[in-house]
Amino acid sequence: MANEPLKPLTVKSFGKDFAWGVAIAAAQNEGAYNEGGRGLSIWDAYARRQGTIRGGGKPFVACDFYHRYKEDLLLTKALGFNSFRFSISWSRVLPDGSGRPNKDGLRYYHDVIDECLRLGLEPFVTIYHWDLPLALQKEGGWTSFKMMRWFPRFVTLCAEEFGDKVKNWIVLNEPAAFTALGYMLGRHAPGLTGLDNFFPAVHNAVLAQSQGGRILRDLVPNARIGTTFSCSEVVPYTNRTEDVQAAARVDILLNRLFVEPALGKGYPSESFRLIERLELYNKSWKYTERMPFQFDYIGLQNYFPVVVRFNRLIPMVQASEVKPYYRRVPRTAMGWEINGDGLANILRRFWKYGAVKEIMVTENGAAFKDAVVGGRVRDEERIAFFKEYLRAVQKVREEGVNVTGYFVWTLTDNFEWSEGYKARFGLVYLDHATQLRTIKDSGYWFRDFLSPA
Ligand code: FCB
C-alpha cells in the first residue's frame, strides 16, 4: 500500500448500512465455566493439561462476560459500534451436547440478545466457535459421523429459541483452523494429531456448515446466513516452480478447502491427491451432494499473509513458512506480519469466485504488548494497524467488491486459546486480576472514527 497515494480514510465512504462491530467468543470471554448448569467443553479439559497453554492460563474466568455482559455491551455502544458478534457456548445450552437443553443457559443468551437490541447493537450470532462439549469429544467429536445428528440438534435449538430476535447468523468459526490445529497438529483442543483425525474432521465440518445453513433457512424467517473462513494470502518465497507449487498446496489448505465445497465446486482436486486422501481416511465419506449451500454472505477473517517455500520434509504439503521474523517485515507481538495488502488481495480473490454476493470481514485485529500507564494505554501501533487494514477494505470497496461489514477482533483482551492471556487483542485493556477495564487509545480512535463530530 505504501506506494499508492492514500485516500483519506472516512467512515462515510463505507456507507450508512455498513456493519461496524466487535467480535468475541464464548470460550474466550464468558468464564463461569461451571455456573448456571453449563457442561464442560473441550477447552476446559485441554487447558488443564500441563504445557498446553502459554503461561498456564485457564478459560475458567476469562473476561467474566457471563456476569459483565451489560458493561461490555455498553462499552461497545460507547465506542460507536452498531453490531456485536458473539458465540453460543454449546455446553451451556446443551450440557451433554445432545440431551436436554439447559434453561438457565438459554435464558442467559436471551438476556445478552435483549440487551444488544435495547442498546441498538445488531447481534451477529456464531453458532460454533470451537468449544465443543466435552461429552461429545468423548464419542469422537468432529471425527465422528454422529456429528451429523449432534450439530443439527444444536443449530435447531438456537434457531428455535433465538430466531425471532436474531437475524444475522454465522454457522462455523474458521473450520480450517479448528480442524487443523485441534485434529491434526494437536495445538488446540482437543489436542489430537494425524491425518486419521484431520480428514474425517474436515469432511464432517464441511457437511455441518451447509447443514447448519439449511436448518437456519428453514426455521428463521428473513435470516441472513453466513459462515466464516480464516484466510491468508499465500505468497511463494521465490518464483522457482517448486516454491510456486508449494504455495498452491498451502493455499488449498488455508483458503480453499472449506469455501469451495460450500460454493458447489467440490473439494479442490489438484495437487497432492487431496480427494483421494479424504476418501481413504474417511470411514464416513458420503453425502458429498450435501456440501453446497447458498450463504447470504461469507465472513472472512484475516490477520496476515504467509510466505512459503518448498520443503520435502513436511508430510503431504511439502512446504514450510518463511516466518516474518526472518523476512524482517513489520509484525505484531505474536510475530504476525502486518500487511494491509494481504487483506485487500484476499478480499479480491474471494470476490472473484463470483458465487459470493456479499463479504463481511468478521475478524481482524492485532496483539501488541500493551500496558496501562497513568490510567492510559497508548497503543499507537494498533491504531496504525487498523488504519492500514481499513484502507484496504475501503480500497477494494471502491473497486466494486461488496464488503458490507467489518468486525474488530476484539473488544476486551481475552483468553487467546493456546496463547493464554499473554496475547492482548482488545480495544479495551483487561486487568485479569481485578477485571478492571481500561479503554485503550485504539478504542478511543474507533469512537472518534465512527462518530465524526
Ligand atoms: C482467530 C479466532 C479468534 C481469535 C483470533 C485472534 O483465528 O477465530 O477466536 O483467536 O484468531
CA 71 to chain centre: 23
Ligand 1 atom at minimal distance to the Cα of residue 173: 8
pLDDT of residue 283: 66
Is residue 363 part of the annotated active site? The answer reads yes
The cell numbers describing 419, all together, are 496463547
Task: Give, using CA atoms, the residue closest to atom 9 of ligand 1.
Answer: 25
Amino acid at site 111: D
Pocket lining for ligand 1, CB < 6 angstroms: 25, 28, 173-174, 177, 230, 301, 363, 409, 416-417, 425
* Residue 228 CA, closest ligand 1 atom number: 8
Query: What is the chain's mean pLDDT, rounded?
Result: 96
Q: Give residue 200's pLDDT.
A: 92
* Segment-wise mean pLDDT, segments of 10 residues, the chain, 453 residues: 70 97 99 98 98 98 98 98 99 97 98 98 99 98 96 98 98 98 97 93 96 98 98 98 96 96 90 72 79 98 98 93 98 98 98 96 98 98 98 98 98 98 98 98 98 78
To which H or E segment does residue 383 belong?
helix 380-398
Give 19's contacts (C-beta < 8 A, 6+ positions apart): 82, 83, 122, 124, 360, 404, 405, 406, 407
Whether residue 416 lies in the annotated active site? no
pTM above 0.95, yes or no: yes
Give the active site residue among 122, 233, 260, 363: 363
Query: What is the spatial distance between Cα 101 and Cα 92, in angstroms, rounded to a whole number?
Result: 9
| Residue of 161, 174, 388, 416 marked catalytic | 174
pLDDT of residue 6: 67
Phi-psi region of 228 (alpha: psi -120 to 50; beta: other; left: phi over 0): beta
* Identity of residue 388: E
d(CA 415, CA 30): 10
Q: Are 261 and 333 in contact (CB under 8 A)?
A: no
pLDDT digits (tens, 9 = 90+) for 233-278: 999 999 999 999 999 999 999 999 999 999 999 998 776 677 777 7
